Each structure stands twice: as structure tokens, then as C-alpha cells.
Structure 1
Amino acid sequence: MRSNLSQAGGHVKQAASDAGSALRGAASAAGEELRVGKANVKADLADGALAGLAAAENAGGAAREQMDALMDKGRDLVDSAAELIRERPLASFGVAFAAGWILAKLGRSGDK
């Protein structure tokens, strides 16, 4: 019986040692997985930030293009008005005078 108990004790001791080794291995593997996961999350966040910056730059470029197009249209409109004034100066003066008179009337009627 003593030898059986001694043998059983040795097996229990070996089982405990094996369990400890398994737990240390599992903890080590879990720690490594956490490090890899953390690195992947950081890389994904960095990629997202870069994509956001690229989108902002593209939006800025598109806004500049739209502003340039609007400025060109405005210049064309001013050039057309200047050409019309050169072609018909009396008519242009008459229209400007009438518009001023109407605006003055509207302005005075709001004072009452």
C-alpha cells in the first residue's frame, strides 16, 4: 500500500507539474495573441486615419475646382455686362437709373 500511495503521489506531483507547464504555455500564447491583436488594431487605425486624410485632401481639391469654376463664371458675367454697356451705353444708363429709383422707393417705403 505504501508503494501504491507513493506512486500515486508521484503521479499527482507530475500531473500538477504538467498542468502548471500547460497553464504557463497557454498564458504565453494568449499574451502573444494579445500583442499581435494590438499591433493589428494599431495598423488598422493608422490605415483609417490615412484614408481619412486622403479623403479630406480630395474634398479640398474638389472645393477648389468648384470655386475656380464659379469665379470663371463670375468673370464671364462681368465681361458680358461690360460688353453690353459698351454696345448700348444709353440703354444701360436708363436701366441703372430705373433700378436705383426703384430701390430708393422700396427703401423709403420701409421707413414708414
Structure 2
Amino acid sequence: MTPTSTDAIKTNLGQAGTHLKQAASDAGEAIRSAAGVAGEELKLGKANVKSDLADSALAGIAAAEHAGGAAREQVDALMDKGRDLIESAAELVRERPLASFGVAFAAGFIIAKLARGSDK
């Protein structure tokens, strides 16, 4: 018996159905595999973000620890400048005592006038 056209159609449709089932199965497997890979990448990315945040926090803590030392250095520098100014003023007073007395007297007089003027 020779196959009829109807039999050939049935056979071809059966093969098409089998191939469609296999394609659907392969697509499902590909999606599951992609989801697994994406999940792993997400875990890796999350770990990298945590690591970077921890490194940032450690760097911030280290900077804060050095802030006290930097502040002390700045205070020391200001104190040195203040001492230099006092020494310069003392040297000026030693070199020109009369002029220094005159400037101090004038400054005191002006301050006294200003203080009395604000009382009225």
C-alpha cells in the first residue's frame, strides 16, 4: 500500500509537532539557563557593590582619624604665626619705645571715645 497524500500530511504534521515540542523545550531550557546566569551575575554584582561600599567606609574612617592630626597641625601653624607677630611687636617696641607708646596711647584714646560715644 502506498501512502496517500492524507497520510503524508499527517506524517509531516506529526513531525512538525514533534519539532515544535522540542523547540519549546529548548526555549524553556535556554530561559532557565539565562535566568540562572543572570542570578549568578546579580549575586556577583551585589558582592562587588558591598565590597566597594565597605572600602569607601574604611577610607572615610581613615580620613576621620587623620582629621584630628591635621587640625592640630593647623593650630600649631597658627600659634607659630601668633608667636612671630608677638615677637615682631616686642622688637618694634624695643627699637622705638616712644613711638610705640604714642600709638598705644592713641589707640586707647580712640577706643575710649568710641565707647563713650556709644553710651549716649
State the TM bucket, normalised to the shorter chain.
0.5 to 0.7
2:34 to 22, 26, 34: 26
Report how far residue 68 of structure 1 moved: 2.4
Partner of 2:75: 67
Report how far residue 111 of structure 1 moved: 2.0
Shifted more, 20-29 versus 53-62: the winner is: 53-62
Structure 2 residues not aligned, in runs of 5+? 1-6
**TM-score normalised by the chain length of structure 2:** 0.64
1:1-112 alignment, distance < 5 Å = 1=7, 2-74=10-82, 100-112=108-120
Counterparts of 2:117 and 2:51, CA distance in 1: 67
Higher relative contact order (CA 8 A, sep 6+): 1
Larger Rg: 1 or 2? 2
Using the aligned pairs only, state the percent identity. 71
The CA RMSD measured in Å over matched residues stands at 3.2
Q: Which amino acid aligns with 1:24?
A: R
Size of the alignment, in residue pairs? 110
Report how far residue 109 of structure 1 moved: 1.9
Structure 1 residues not aligned, in runs of 5+? none
Counterparts of 2:109 and 2:12, CA distance in 1: 121
Counterparts of 2:117 and 2:21, CA distance in 1: 106
Counterparts of 2:72 and 2:46, CA distance in 1: 39
